[in-house]
Amino acid sequence: MFLAPANLFTGTVFARWKPDVETDEALFLAAMGGDLTAFERLYARYERRLFGFLLRLLGDRAEAEEVFHDVFVSVLQSKHVRFEEARFSAWLFRIARNAASNRHRSRSRSEGALAKEAAIDGTSATPLDRLLEEERSFRLSSAVKKLPEALADVFHLRCSGLSYEEIAAVLEVPLGTVKSRMNSLTNQLRGEV
């Protein structure tokens, strides 16, 4: 039987490596215990992704900001949360998706729920490039508007950076269903864009 010396990893990268003790779940529990710093870190981790997700769903910056803040208020007011079945990120995005759905039901709109984002990334080199990018973005937005809700949900969650496993947890469907929907989504968008 081989026994490694006790100081095998001393002075190496392994000796300095420490596991991430600030998981989302740990930060959430600390925030629930009144740790403002933990809440701020959690907020900072999800601010861009969650806001972008809500902006894509709602199509209106002001409305997305309002729902975004409502989601974090809901998170703070949550009690008896257990993360055994899904991760914090899946739980948070599920709350956001439900809040956006509630907002859709509470308002009536003559146009589709998904509008083009307010600002187009201005990295194109020429006005023609910007025009082509704007047209491509418009075609994609129009194609997404035509998708069935189940496929649109997968699109928005994936664009927000969630893994297939996290999307399955948010939508409360099997992983295979998410993969199947992603395949259908890709085929439909490829045909329209």
Global confidence as pTM: 0.56
Q: What is the pLDDT of residue 185?
A: 82
SS3 25: helix
Of the candidates 80, 107, 134, which is a domain's last residue? 107
23-68 confidence digits (pLDDT tens): 888 888 888 888 889 888 988 999 999 999 999 888 889 889 999 9
Sequence length of the chain is 193
DSSP letter for each residue of 60-97: -HHHHHHHHHHHHHHHHH--S---SSS-HHHHHHHHHH
Residues 101, 136, single domain; the answer is no
Q: What is the pLDDT of residue 19?
A: 40
127-157 confidence digits (pLDDT tens): 777 777 777 777 877 888 888 888 888 888 8
The CA distances from residue 37 to 46, 54, 118, 187, in Å, are: 15, 24, 32, 44
**Is the residue at 55 inside a domain?**
yes
**Is the residue at 159 inside a domain?**
yes
Helix residue spans in the chain (DSSP H): 13-16, 24-32, 36-58, 61-77, 88-106, 127-146, 149-159, 164-171, 175-192
Residue 161: left if φ>0, alpha if ψ -120 to 50, beta else—which one?
A: left
Token pair for residue 111?
């146009």
**Is the residue at 9 inside a domain?**
no
91-128 confidence digits (pLDDT tens): 899 899 999 888 877 664 433 433 333 333 444 457 77
Residues 132, 97, single domain; the answer is no
Q: What is the pLDDT of residue 51?
A: 93
Range of the domain at 173: 126-193
- CA-to-CA distance for 159 and 57, rounded, in angstroms? 11
Instruction: Return the residue matching tokens 């601010």.
Output: 47
Residues 81, 137, single domain; the answer is no
Residues 103, 133, single domain; the answer is no
**Is the residue at 118 inside a domain?**
no
